[in-house]
Structure 1
Amino acid sequence: MSGPVPILMYHSVSRRPTPSTKALSVSPEAFAEQMETLCERGFTPLSTAQLGAAWRSGGALPVRPVLITFDDGYEGVHRHALPVLAKYGFAATLFVSTGWLRGAYDTGGGLDLMLDWDQVRELAAQGVEIGGHSHTHPELDQLPQDDLWFELLRCREIVAAELGTAPRSFAYPYGYSSRRVRGAVRAAGFAQSLAVGNGLARRAQGPYALRRVTVRRTTGAAEFAHLIEGHAIARTFARDRALTKGYAVVRRARQLRRKADSSRV
């Protein structure tokens, strides 16, 4: 059985990120150094679809597989990340929130300068897998079923219309999902989906709950090396996990309150 795989989660790549994106942004220089580290250490980047297909079929993976993923659809992925990926011939996956991208479907809400569809098409032409990340980036597990379906199907429909190919991979906004959400993602036609979890991805997690590790602006060279080697991940993200568990309690209370309110109507 294949071993664990580091799946790196990036967002914005920018020298001057907005306050809303700064914590989850990396500078172009840091991104280039991180990709150089992957190359020097003999990692082979795969797309999300490639990993999913290999784990479904039991096929072989490279000796040191890694996934490079980007969420939301910030313009810096095209401006800064694409030339570096091309330099090394690295595969990657971009998960787009279709309502945030510039163009005919823009609903607003983007947290920084977003990609337009010509740039998305150029990324796809250069071998970047384009996956879904919902339409308007809500917490999917907090939505009624009809709204959940809209977010999934509208996103998939737009990507298919713009690129000519329906997306096969999905990433949950904010990393939140539930059994209901995962079932809907599968029924909508996605073959695999990524959460966060800040741990290495393992085949036993199942194709709709694969974990990723967060790369931040504060992620230094030594910490990045530890992350890709699978070292000290639990300690690095211990505070994040505590906060996530606390927020999960708050979100569950909100959900129960909404159900109680709706039952009284």
Structure 2
Amino acid sequence: MALIFYGTLLITILLGVTASGLRERAASATAMALAPASTPTNVPTLTAPASPSQTSGPSPTASATPTATLTPTATATASPTQTFTPSPTFTPTQTPSPTNTPTPFPTPGPGAENRKACVPILTYHHIGHPPADADTLRLGLTTSPERFEEQLAYFKANDVTPISLYDLLYRLALGRPLPEKPVIITIDDGYDDVYRYAFPLLKEYGYTATLFIATGIIDAGTPGYMTWPQIEEMARAGNDVEPHTKDHVDLRRRKRDYLIYQILGSKQTVEAHTGREARFFAYPAGAYDDNAIAMLKELNFWGAVSTDAGVTHSLENIYTLPRLRVSEQIDVESMKVYLRFCGF
């Protein structure tokens, strides 16, 4: 009977993930309507084309300090005869500080091509209370502060350790150890309830998260979103801040100059506000194609998260890392099922 219960619950959760992914694609269109039509002027680090979607000539180069160098990601071939023994102690990875020369993708060590890691990457959006007239989409993107605290308390009581995407990358590329029960907390879009409710709870439990920010929406001072001072405060507290494009747009079937504008532009803005290199990316509404992935590699991103459902990661899917959607419907019992996908 237990197997039937968990099987049924698993199917329900995965179906919910798929359905909510479709809803988020619908939300992308709404976010596009909110985004400014022109490049915000309050961030001096980016020089981008005025009308990126209409340019058909050679691709522009966005300039900023530090300047991003469009260099293909280096790869390495590991020797199949060597054996790698990881250190038994987990040490959290610090986010790289920006330099004039972007930090290259870590050269994979021996055995990296076969290494996998099972880590639930949890996806949150709103962490707050939805309005009384909230539609199905908003409800599906919302986790109450009470539910969020229940989950954090369960993590603390059961030795579940939130880590960063950098920790995961170094595990896959270099074999560095992870804690016994790792999870990654990601929060998309930059809604203001994240600062109001999630940030104090994360500090209370001693955890950090990865924030994916649509920088143009923040630049515009859009109601319902965080401000840059709030985001900077969260970054100083140890939370990683990474780009989510400028305007929360679907990146599929886009021209090269438009991809540069949205991806490099948001990367440079994040780095200007946090003082740290941005090395990971989240596709708005989980929408990506080969051109978007190629641009991330060209811009020296180390990886990206998607809305594909799953918990198993490797260097083969480092630019389409799967995640698990969290909403109010994911109570502690459902979270336990998420964790059991990885055996803990």
TM exceeding 0.5:
yes
Which position in structure 2 is the counterpart of 1:16?
130
- Provide the alpha-carbon RMSD of the alignment: 1.9
Q: Any conservation in 1 of the 2:163–2:182 contact (CA below 8 Å)?
A: yes
Q: Any conservation in 2 of the 1:49–1:192 contact (CA below 8 Å)?
A: no
Of 208, 211, 220, 1:106 maps to 220
Q: Any conservation in 2 of the 1:4–1:203 contact (CA below 8 Å)?
A: no
Which position in structure 2 is the counterpart of 1:171?
282
1:200 maps to a residue whose letter is V
Of 184, 206, 226, 2:337 maps to 226
CA displacement at 1:219 relative to structure 2: 1.9
3-state secondary structure, aligned to 2:186: strand
3-state secondary structure, aligned to 2:217: coil
CA displacement at 1:107 relative to structure 2: 7.9
3-state secondary structure, aligned to 2:265: helix
3-state secondary structure, aligned to 2:148: helix
Of 65, 77, 86, 2:194 maps to 77
1:63 aligns with 2:180: yes
* More deviation, 40-49/14-23: 14-23
1:164 maps to a residue whose letter is G
Q: Any conservation in 1 of the 2:311–2:322 contact (CA below 8 Å)?
A: yes
1:212 aligns with 2:323: yes
Q: Mind listing any 5+ residue stretches in structure 1 that lack a counterpart? A: 232-265
Does 1 or 2 have the higher relative contact order (CA < 8 Å, sep 6+)? 2
Q: Deviations over 1:66-119 (max 9, x none)?
A: 100000001111111111111221121001010121xxx2285xxx61010000
Which position in structure 2 is the counterpart of 1:33?
150
Identity of aligned residues (%): 30
More helix by percentage: 1
3-state secondary structure, aligned to 2:118: coil
CA displacement at 1:143 relative to structure 2: 2.0
The 5-angstrom pairing of residues 88-167 of structure 1 reads 88-101=205-218, 105-106=219-220, 113-167=224-278
Q: Any conservation in 2 of the 1:10–1:70 contact (CA below 8 Å)?
A: yes
Rounded Cα–Cα distance in structure 2 between residues aligned with 1:225 and 1:106: 39
Q: Deviations over 1:23-45 (max 9, x none)?
A: 11100100100111122221111
1:183 aligns with 2:183: no
CA displacement at 1:205 relative to structure 2: 4.1
Q: Any conservation in 2 of the 1:107–1:136 contact (CA below 8 Å)?
A: no
Q: Any conservation in 1 of the 2:117–2:172 contact (CA below 8 Å)?
A: no
Of 174, 185, 201, 2:312 maps to 201
Q: Mind listing any 5+ residue stretches in structure 2 that lack a counterpart? A: 1-114
Rounded Cα–Cα distance in structure 1 between residues aligned with 2:157 and 2:242: 28
* More deviation, 48-57/8-17: 48-57
Structure 2-normalised TM-score?
A: 0.62
Rounded Cα–Cα distance in structure 1 between residues aligned with 2:265 and 2:117: 35
Structure 1 residues 205 and 43: alpha-carbon distance in aligned structure 2, compared to 1, 3 A threshold: farther
2:125 maps to a residue whose letter is H
Rounded Cα–Cα distance in structure 1 between residues aligned with 2:318 and 2:130: 35
Rounded Cα–Cα distance in structure 1 between residues aligned with 2:269 and 2:310: 31
Rounded Cα–Cα distance in structure 2 between residues aligned with 1:92 and 1:107: 23
Q: Any conservation in 2 of the 1:11–1:74 contact (CA below 8 Å)?
A: yes
Q: Any conservation in 2 of the 1:24–1:216 contact (CA below 8 Å)?
A: yes
Which position in structure 1 is the counterpart of 2:58?
none
Give the length in aligned residue pairs: 226
3-state secondary structure, aligned to 1:60: coil
Which position in structure 1 is the counterpart of 2:121?
7
3-state secondary structure, aligned to 1:161: helix
Q: Any conservation in 2 of the 1:12–1:76 contact (CA below 8 Å)?
A: yes
3-state secondary structure, aligned to 1:211: strand
